[in-house]
Amino acid sequence: MSRRERNGHMSLWWWTGVGVVVVAAALVASRRWPAGCAGGGRLTAVVLDALAEDWAARMDTRPDDIRAAVLGSGAAELRARLVSEVREVEVVFIRPATGRSDAHTVVRCVFGNPESALVTETVTGWDDIPDGVRAEFIRQEIDEVSRHWSVAS
Protein backbone atom coordinates (compact mmCIF):
# COMPACT_ATOMS: atom_id res chain seq x y z
CA MET A 1 0.00 0.00 0.00
CA SER A 2 1.46 3.31 -1.00
CA ARG A 3 1.81 6.26 1.32
CA ARG A 4 -0.95 8.11 -0.56
CA GLU A 5 -3.40 5.22 -0.10
CA ARG A 6 -2.53 5.02 3.62
CA ASN A 7 -3.19 8.75 4.04
CA GLY A 8 -6.52 8.40 2.22
CA HIS A 9 -7.60 5.56 4.54
CA MET A 10 -6.48 7.52 7.62
CA SER A 11 -8.40 10.56 6.44
CA LEU A 12 -11.51 8.48 5.84
CA TRP A 13 -11.32 6.94 9.34
CA TRP A 14 -10.62 10.31 10.92
CA TRP A 15 -13.66 11.98 9.32
CA THR A 16 -15.83 8.97 10.15
CA GLY A 17 -14.75 9.26 13.79
CA VAL A 18 -15.49 12.99 13.84
CA GLY A 19 -18.94 12.33 12.37
CA VAL A 20 -19.74 9.71 15.00
CA VAL A 21 -18.68 12.05 17.82
CA VAL A 22 -20.79 14.92 16.43
CA VAL A 23 -23.88 12.72 16.07
CA ALA A 24 -23.42 11.29 19.57
CA ALA A 25 -23.04 14.79 21.05
CA ALA A 26 -26.20 15.95 19.27
CA LEU A 27 -28.16 12.98 20.62
CA VAL A 28 -26.96 13.58 24.18
CA ALA A 29 -27.79 17.28 23.95
CA SER A 30 -31.28 16.61 22.58
CA ARG A 31 -32.07 14.14 25.38
CA ARG A 32 -30.86 16.51 28.08
CA TRP A 33 -33.05 19.39 26.87
CA PRO A 34 -36.41 18.72 28.53
CA ALA A 35 -39.49 19.33 26.47
CA GLY A 36 -41.13 21.37 29.19
CA CYS A 37 -38.36 23.80 29.74
CA ALA A 38 -38.74 27.41 28.80
CA GLY A 39 -36.28 27.11 25.95
CA GLY A 40 -38.85 25.39 23.82
CA GLY A 41 -40.82 22.24 23.37
CA ARG A 42 -44.46 21.38 23.07
CA LEU A 43 -45.31 22.14 26.71
CA THR A 44 -43.83 25.62 26.40
CA ALA A 45 -45.86 26.16 23.21
CA VAL A 46 -49.07 25.12 24.99
CA VAL A 47 -48.32 27.47 27.91
CA LEU A 48 -47.51 30.39 25.62
CA ASP A 49 -50.60 29.81 23.46
CA ALA A 50 -52.74 29.89 26.58
CA LEU A 51 -51.07 32.68 28.57
CA ALA A 52 -48.99 35.00 26.36
CA GLU A 53 -51.81 37.48 25.75
CA ASP A 54 -52.81 37.65 29.42
CA TRP A 55 -49.19 38.01 30.54
CA ALA A 56 -48.65 40.72 27.93
CA ALA A 57 -51.67 42.69 29.17
CA ARG A 58 -50.54 42.27 32.77
CA MET A 59 -47.02 43.50 31.94
CA ASP A 60 -48.05 46.17 29.45
CA THR A 61 -46.26 44.66 26.47
CA ARG A 62 -47.01 42.58 23.37
CA PRO A 63 -47.56 38.79 23.28
CA ASP A 64 -44.65 38.48 20.84
CA ASP A 65 -42.37 40.15 23.42
CA ILE A 66 -43.56 37.64 26.05
CA ARG A 67 -42.87 34.73 23.69
CA ALA A 68 -39.39 36.04 22.87
CA ALA A 69 -38.56 36.59 26.55
CA VAL A 70 -39.68 33.09 27.52
CA LEU A 71 -37.79 31.50 24.62
CA GLY A 72 -34.64 33.41 25.56
CA SER A 73 -34.38 35.62 22.50
CA GLY A 74 -36.09 38.69 23.94
CA ALA A 75 -35.45 41.33 26.57
CA ALA A 76 -33.66 39.98 29.62
CA GLU A 77 -35.52 42.47 31.84
CA LEU A 78 -38.91 41.12 30.74
CA ARG A 79 -37.77 37.55 31.30
CA ALA A 80 -36.53 38.48 34.79
CA ARG A 81 -39.88 40.09 35.55
CA LEU A 82 -41.72 36.96 34.37
CA VAL A 83 -39.48 34.78 36.52
CA SER A 84 -40.19 36.91 39.58
CA GLU A 85 -43.94 37.30 39.01
CA VAL A 86 -44.97 33.88 37.69
CA ARG A 87 -44.68 31.53 40.66
CA GLU A 88 -46.22 28.36 39.22
CA VAL A 89 -47.81 27.09 36.04
CA GLU A 90 -49.69 23.80 35.91
CA VAL A 91 -51.02 22.34 32.69
CA VAL A 92 -53.68 19.63 32.85
CA PHE A 93 -54.40 17.67 29.70
CA ILE A 94 -57.78 15.93 29.73
CA ARG A 95 -58.00 12.79 27.63
CA PRO A 96 -59.83 13.11 24.36
CA ALA A 97 -63.18 11.34 24.40
CA THR A 98 -62.52 9.67 21.06
CA GLY A 99 -59.04 8.18 20.96
CA ARG A 100 -56.39 10.30 19.32
CA SER A 101 -58.13 13.62 18.84
CA ASP A 102 -57.76 17.05 20.41
CA ALA A 103 -57.37 17.23 24.21
CA HIS A 104 -59.11 19.68 26.49
CA THR A 105 -56.35 21.63 28.24
CA VAL A 106 -56.54 23.68 31.44
CA VAL A 107 -53.64 26.00 32.20
CA ARG A 108 -53.43 27.45 35.71
CA CYS A 109 -50.94 30.20 36.50
CA VAL A 110 -50.24 31.41 40.04
CA PHE A 111 -48.47 34.74 40.40
CA GLY A 112 -46.27 35.98 43.27
CA ASN A 113 -49.37 37.10 45.14
CA PRO A 114 -51.15 33.80 46.03
CA GLU A 115 -54.56 35.41 45.65
CA SER A 116 -53.70 36.30 42.08
CA ALA A 117 -54.21 33.35 39.75
CA LEU A 118 -55.20 32.91 36.16
CA VAL A 119 -56.93 29.87 34.69
CA THR A 120 -57.47 29.41 30.99
CA GLU A 121 -58.98 26.57 29.02
CA THR A 122 -58.06 25.64 25.50
CA VAL A 123 -57.95 22.76 23.08
CA THR A 124 -54.64 21.17 22.15
CA GLY A 125 -54.33 19.15 18.95
CA TRP A 126 -53.19 15.54 19.38
CA ASP A 127 -49.90 16.21 17.55
CA ASP A 128 -49.21 19.25 19.77
CA ILE A 129 -49.57 17.36 23.05
CA PRO A 130 -46.12 16.64 24.56
CA ASP A 131 -44.88 13.14 23.73
CA GLY A 132 -44.79 11.99 27.36
CA VAL A 133 -48.40 13.05 27.91
CA ARG A 134 -49.58 11.23 24.78
CA ALA A 135 -47.69 8.14 25.88
CA GLU A 136 -49.39 8.23 29.29
CA PHE A 137 -52.82 8.55 27.67
CA ILE A 138 -52.12 5.55 25.46
CA ARG A 139 -50.16 3.31 27.83
CA GLN A 140 -51.94 3.94 31.13
CA GLU A 141 -55.42 4.70 29.84
CA ILE A 142 -55.87 7.58 32.29
CA ASP A 143 -58.16 10.56 31.79
CA GLU A 144 -55.93 13.41 33.02
CA VAL A 145 -52.23 14.13 32.89
CA SER A 146 -50.70 17.08 34.72
CA ARG A 147 -47.40 18.85 34.07
CA HIS A 148 -45.68 21.71 35.88
CA TRP A 149 -43.86 24.37 33.87
CA SER A 150 -41.57 27.22 34.85
CA VAL A 151 -40.28 30.31 33.10
CA ALA A 152 -36.96 29.84 34.92
CA SER A 153 -36.36 26.35 33.53
pLDDT tens for 90-133 read 999 998 777 677 889 999 999 887 677 889 999 999 889 999 99
> Structure pTM?
0.70
Specify the pLDDT at position 15. Answer: 57
| Burial (Cβ within 10 Å: 0-12, 13-18, ≥19) of residue 25 | exposed
Distance CA 66, CA 142 (A): 33
First and final CA of the chain: distance in angstroms? 56
